Chain A
Amino acid sequence: MHGPRQNWMQSGAPWIWLTAGAVSVSLLIVFGLLGLIIWNGLGHFWPAPVAAFASDRGATQVLGQITGEETVPRHILTDAGEPVPEGMMLVRRYLVKSGNRELQGADFAWYVEPAMGPISFPADAVVLEREDWGNFYGYLVAIKEQGVTLAADAALWPELTARLARRHELRDRVRSIERDAIGAINYALEQLRLDRRTLELAGNAGAAELEAITVRERALEQRYATQAAELATLRQELARDALVIRTAAGAEVELPLTKIVRAYRPNAMGLFAKLGHYAGKVHEFILDDPREANTEGGIFPAIFGTVLLVIVMSIFVTPLGIIAAVYLREYARQNLLTRLVRIAVNNLAGVPSIVYGVFGLGFFVYFLGGSIDQLFYAERLPIPTFGTPGMLWSSLTLALLTVPVVIVATEEGLTRVPRAIREGSLALGATQAETLLRTVLPMATPAMITGLILAVARAAGEVAPLMMVGVVKLAPALPLDGNPPFLHLDRKFMHLGFHIYDVGFQSPNVEAARPLVYATALLLVLVIVTLNLAAIALRQRLRKAYSAADT
């Protein structure tokens, strides 16, 4: 007779539980990661309350948002010269974002619990988001117009809101002039300069033609002068208001209203106000340009760049992948060579993406792009047009990177089309092309779409090769705009994945940028997981449909 313990060992149950443990850990990692990104990414937009407390045993007054807390062993603090009460092994400390960078030097600081006084949340604490220098925390004291203090009364806050709305409206007008009107003029001037250079290069510059260019340049310069004058008046208008803010330390600071993007009092906000604020922040995040070296504001150019990149890539990769797959499956003789090609194509999916980046840089950018510049854009040299990293080369590189995915998926789809259907079509007298185009390919369409979705999902998350062939941290202009030819594939662009790398690792103020990076990561994960789930669902449906067709 075996004892129960021996029985338990012999049945192998412990080992089975061990394998189960591996699955549990993997699941915990997957959902833990997703949870971490979602929690931090969504939390970024929520208006955290502003805490006020005394620190250093009352020596300094602090006003700011608590963004983190942790328990540390005492020696970490004593090593840093922080006094810790005797007998205390573990100490809590809080990370507080107290802004006011121009006054305090750093906008984040750790505060140790034993040295902190009681925490309060004053209802009149104001958070000001600014165009530069980060947030400002304080209490609203007065509003000034043209340097004259307005009567300070209870209506200070509504007054500020109204003036801020006016500021936003003026700012929008300034921006539209700067970007659209003046941008278009500059673009046209640049084109004229290039026209002139082309004429010079051709060597037969007619005086009349040059004269025409000069006349047009004059007209543009005049238009520029008008716009510039309007800009100057608008800027003057903008500079009208200022507000006076008292900091936690009691100092009164005057801030020009034109620099303030948003003002809110989180401690005085109700749930709906907070939700409204949240929606506003999400809106800003998705649709606005970045501020402060990408660490604040929105990520619209990065979203736009990613989407356009993926679209252009799809335009390249879909026909290429499908033709290659049709060739391999339908036309090529099935022999050892095709088998080897198939293995090679399969393996290319496993080649590190950085290798594609290196290839793209060498072959597309320097070799092809350099040649194109010599042939077609000689007037712009030595400034390269296509001989420098840009949208076109990035999308081609990614197309090459993802073409194996499309080939494999399409081939799988073609294999699954029942033979009977092909033979039926041929028996009715259809040519091979007709059979393919009218019956086989339509039946394999879902498989191709699956392949395309997977390719898009892979491309959207790929960063390493793009760092070499066209992505930049801050692009001066979108690759699609109102200046003909509208789509500028030679331009560099911003990208969500690169944004994460750049803001998370290259920015000087990582602590301030971190929430934004989480939010960007969340957006990217959402897009990619959705695409993948769609591909999986499509594939499941496809398999069911074919298994029905087979029987």
Chain B
Amino acid sequence: MTERLHNTLIGAIQADGLLTRRYALWRRIKDVLFRWLVNVGGLLIIAAIGLIFVYLLYVVVPLFRGASAEPGAAYPLAGAEPPLALVLDEYGEIGFSVAADGRYRFFRTDSGAEIASGTLLDRVGVRLTAAATTEPAQGIVALGDSEGGVRLLRLAYDLNYPDGKRQITPRLEYPYGAEPIMVGEQPLLRLAARADEDAATMITADATGRLQLTRLERRENQFTGEVQLERIAGVLPEIPALIRELVLDPTQRSLFVLDATGTLHLFDVTDQAAPQPIDAVDVRTGAAEITALGLLSGGLSLVLGDAAGRLEQWFAVRDEHNRYTLRRVREFPALPTAISGIVPEHYRKGFVAFDRGGSFGIYHATAERQLEHQPLAHPMAAAALAPRADRLLAVHADRSAQLWAIDNRHPEVSWRALWGKVWYESRAEPEFIWQSSSASADFEPKYSLTPLAFGSLKAAFYSMLFAVPLAILGAMYTAYFMNPRLRHFVKPSIEIMAALPTVILGFLAGLWLAPFIERNLLGTFLLLLSLPLACLLGSLLWARLPEALTQRTRPGLEALLLLPLFLGTGWLCLRLGIPLEAALFDGNLPHWVTERLGLGFDQRNSLVVGIAVGVAVIPTIFSISEDAIYEVPRHLTVGSLALGATRWQTMLRVVLLTASPGIFSAVMIGLGRAVGETMIVLMATGNTPIMDMNLFQGLRALSANIAVEMPEAEVDSTHYRILFLAALVLFSVTFLFNTVAELVRQRLRQRYSNL
């Protein structure tokens, strides 16, 4: 019996031991698991936070990469003669070439395989002598022949998707008739042409040096659908020298003529019957002959290449008398030898230039940037860019062809284009401009971040001007002079303002404060000036009050005593403002500011932003500097007072000095908040990107710009990445401010603990 009991007990104890051991093991496992969870989780979360910076950088970096050009297929180009004109289709898959003997070919650019071919000339003895191509949307190729005729062809591409694969069938169309348009009897040596759905304009030069303009206008009969062509002819003023190049802009209004003396002529051919000369300039640098010329997309700028390998951009600039003059705008990094060709991109302000020595470069005009430079085995004789600028077909002197794959996604960006002054097309001088989009496709995007950064700083400056004195003085009083019981109430009250959503502050600033200030501008200024005076007045009055009364009041309630005084002052200032404005400023100070001072006045101006953002940062600065002042060790102040310093002297010489690093960090953090503030600047300004410190005008801040444009930016476009760059700038700046502030604060804390 006892034995059985004994055995049971032993068994139980053994089992219990086993259980305990198991349990201990389980506890250990749990501990390790938990440790793992926390370690991995914690590190992951911290990494996720770091990811923000990394990801922003990851999106931004491609902006600053150059272009790359990779050689692809190489093959001999068919035909007996070198091409007179070379055109690629939208995808860069199909090439079109036409030679002086009239043979044209469509071929695959990746193999040289012929797709279609034929001849344009039906009689022996006639040869093609000049060619001009237009922008890809029109797809027109104009060809002048040795008998004074011009042929206008359109390259048409039919898209098909048999079994889901893209198939392009090219064909020729003759929108202005298959018969050549006769403009004279002499061989046409130079030709410029543009055409659209309604009209075609051709400028021709023959051996006599006469420049002739021919325009065809299509008239469609509304009822029969029959097309009639109306012909207008004009003669351009005589140019004494041999004509080298002719270029007409896509709007068919401006004609650029380069002659053998190196003079560039600009004509206005809007009135085709009577073309007007605008300007003529010698564009050579030194004696170097101009050897190549290209019109950038948009038709406003010319790129000229000379015998020394120099590349320059020229465009017409309008002066104050509304006169246009041709100006040298910028120079690009040169190629080693004489430039033999310039091929502009079709949608961007970029171009490819190649030289006689055998190298080519990829450039962008606005960014003033050489994105790529490659030496070649053979010099190029001719080249064509695909409309998307991702393929380049080069033809060499020996008629061998080489296809290049070009990766050039963000040529518009360079350090100078982002932060420096840039001379944009049709502007009188280099400027800082932010204008990221426009209705027209060939517009020059203006990505200068300077006006936006300036806007952010301007908003921050005015808001700090408003917030810093209020917050720091307030912190001094609250921490040091205020009645402790009142302090318990006042501090959280001001701090709660930090939690006020900025969208509400922005709404009040834009829809309540801005009209209010516009109505009471003088009153507002009176108020800002008279409030400090009211404090002094309060102090003086208090000193004059009988001591029996002042002694009985607890100290540290001045802030409360001032409230009614301030309300009275405010009421008085606003009451007086309007009649005073009527008496002194013709009744309307904003109007007066515009008329008499010549300053612009917006209702939503920097004054409003300064106050609103100021209100948003007051609690931050107040709270941190109040803590810094409050934590100044008591024995320092008590010592100072015991030595006979007044309370104010102690404040200035002991407390402020000791707490100054804390106050500095408070201002830094406030500044960081002001620079990055979004909703207030978005709602309380007109968001115009101007560079002007004028208090009465608006601004466009980096942050607000992101908020406005980000939803519309196409993913991975240059615009999108630049907005990411703006975010990265904001991130870095505020992070820097905050880190400095935090380091200063930590040192201060250490100093206090040492004291």
* A residues with CB within 8 A of B: 4, 8, 10-31, 33, 36-37, 70-76, 89-90, 320-321, 323-324, 326-328, 330-332, 341, 343-348, 350-359, 361-363, 366, 400, 403-404, 431-434, 436-437, 457-458, 460-464, 467-468, 497-498, 500-501, 504-505, 510, 514, 517, 521, 524-525, 528-529, 531-533, 536
Contacts and interface: CB of A to CB of B under 8 A. Distances in A.
Contacts of A72: 519, 578
Nearest to B46: A341
B31 A432 contact: yes
B496 A343 contact: no
B646 A22 contact: no
Given A351-B52, A359-B52, A500-B503, 10 more contacts: A12-B648, A21-B534, A324-B46, A347-B735, A352-B677, A352-B730, A353-B678, A358-B710, A463-B501, A468-B711
Nearest to B683: A505
B42 A18 contact: no
B594 interface: no
26 contacts: A12-B651, A17-B562, A18-B535, A20-B535, A21-B534, A25-B470, A26-B497, A37-B508, A73-B581, A74-B587, A75-B588, A327-B41, A327-B42, A330-B38, A350-B672, A351-B676, A356-B52, A362-B724, A403-B45, A431-B28, A432-B34, A497-B501, A500-B507, A510-B511, A524-B504, A528-B499
B39 interface: yes
Interface in B618-633: 618, 622
B576 to A, nearest CB: 12
B486 to A, nearest CB: 9
A462 B39 CA distance: 31
B490 interface: yes
A20 B477 contact: yes
A356 B735 CA distance: 13
A400 B47 CA distance: 12
Nearest to B746: A343
A507 to B, nearest CB: 11
Output the residue of A31, A71, A431 with the most chain B CB within 10 A.
A431
B730 A24 contact: no
A15 B512 CA distance: 33
B564 to A, nearest CB: 10
A23 B474 CA distance: 4
B648 A324 contact: no
A320 B45 contact: yes
Contact of A332 (B28, B42, B730): B42
Given A16-B647, A323-B38, A431-B27, A358 B727 contact: yes
Output the residue of A21, A30, A344, A531 with the most chain B CB within 10 A.
A21
B503 A463 contact: yes
B51 to A, nearest CB: 7
Interface of B: 27-28, 30-31, 33-35, 37-39, 41-43, 45-46, 48-52, 55-56, 59, 469-474, 476-478, 481-482, 490, 492-494, 496-497, 499-508, 510-512, 519, 531-532, 534-536, 538-540, 542-543, 558-563, 566-567, 578-579, 581-582, 586-588, 615, 618, 622, 646-649, 651, 669, 672-673, 675-679, 682-683, 703, 706-707, 710-711, 715, 723-724, 727, 730-731, 734-735, 737-739, 742-743, 746
B649 A22 contact: no
Output the residue of A25, A510, A528 with the most chain B CB within 10 A.
A25
B531 A26 contact: no
Given A75-B586, A501-B679, A355 B501 contact: no
A528 B724 CA distance: 31
Output the residue of A26, A36, A37, A525 with the most chain B CB within 10 A.
A26
A525 B497 CA distance: 10
Contacts of B470: 22, 25-26
B501 A20 contact: no
Contacts of A37: 504, 508
A177 to B, nearest CB: 35
B463 to A, nearest CB: 13
Contacts of B730: 351-352, 354-355
Given A17-B539, A323-B37, A348 B496 contact: no
A532 B731 CA distance: 27
Nearest to A76: B588
Contacts of B561: 20
A334 to B, nearest CB: 14
Interface SS, A side:
helix
Given A331-B39, A353-B678, A467-B707, A362 B646 contact: no
Output the residue of A22, A497, A529 with the most chain B CB within 10 A.
A22
A361 B682 CA distance: 19
Contact of B499 (A433, A461, A464): A461
A493 to B, nearest CB: 16
Contact of A22 (B42, B474, B587): B474
B559 A14 contact: no
A536 B492 contact: yes
A549 to B, nearest CB: 23
5 pairs of A and B residues whose beta carbons are closest in the complex = A12-B648, A327-B42, A352-B676, A461-B501, A22-B473
B510 A504 contact: yes
A23 B562 CA distance: 10
B41 A89 contact: no
B731 A355 contact: yes
A330 to B, nearest CB: 7
A244 B512 CA distance: 38
Given A17-B536, A27-B494, A4 B543 contact: yes
A20 B43 CA distance: 47
A520 B492 CA distance: 24
B707 A351 contact: no
Nearest to A323: B41
B707 A331 contact: no
Nearest to B739: A347
B13 to A, nearest CB: 20
Contacts of A326: 38, 42
Given A8-B540, A358-B706, A433-B35, A524 B501 contact: yes
Contact of A19 (B34, B476, B723): B476
Given A23-B474, A351-B734, A355-B52, A331 B42 contact: yes
Contacts of B723: 358
Given A13-B543, A20-B481, A351 B578 contact: no
A21 B562 contact: yes
A14 B679 contact: no
Contacts of B578: 71-73, 90
Contact of B558 (A17, A89, A505): A17
Given A324-B46, A347-B739, A73 B501 contact: no
A362 B519 contact: no
A171 to B, nearest CB: 32
Given A8-B540, A11-B648, A25 B31 contact: no
Nearest to B723: A358
B493 A27 contact: yes
Given A19-B474, A357-B710, A366-B715, A323 B678 contact: no
Nearest to B498: A532
A458 B502 CA distance: 10
Given A18-B536, A22-B470, A347-B735, A461 B500 contact: yes
Contact of A400 (B49, B706, B739): B49
Nearest to A78: B587
Nearest to A430: B27
Nearest to A20: B558
Output the residue of A90, A345, A351, A363 with the most chain B CB within 10 A.
A351
B647 A27 contact: no
Nearest to A513: B511
A521 B532 contact: no
A21 B531 contact: yes
Contacts of B676: 350-355
B724 to A, nearest CB: 6
A465 B276 CA distance: 55
Contacts of A403: 45, 49
A388 B64 CA distance: 28
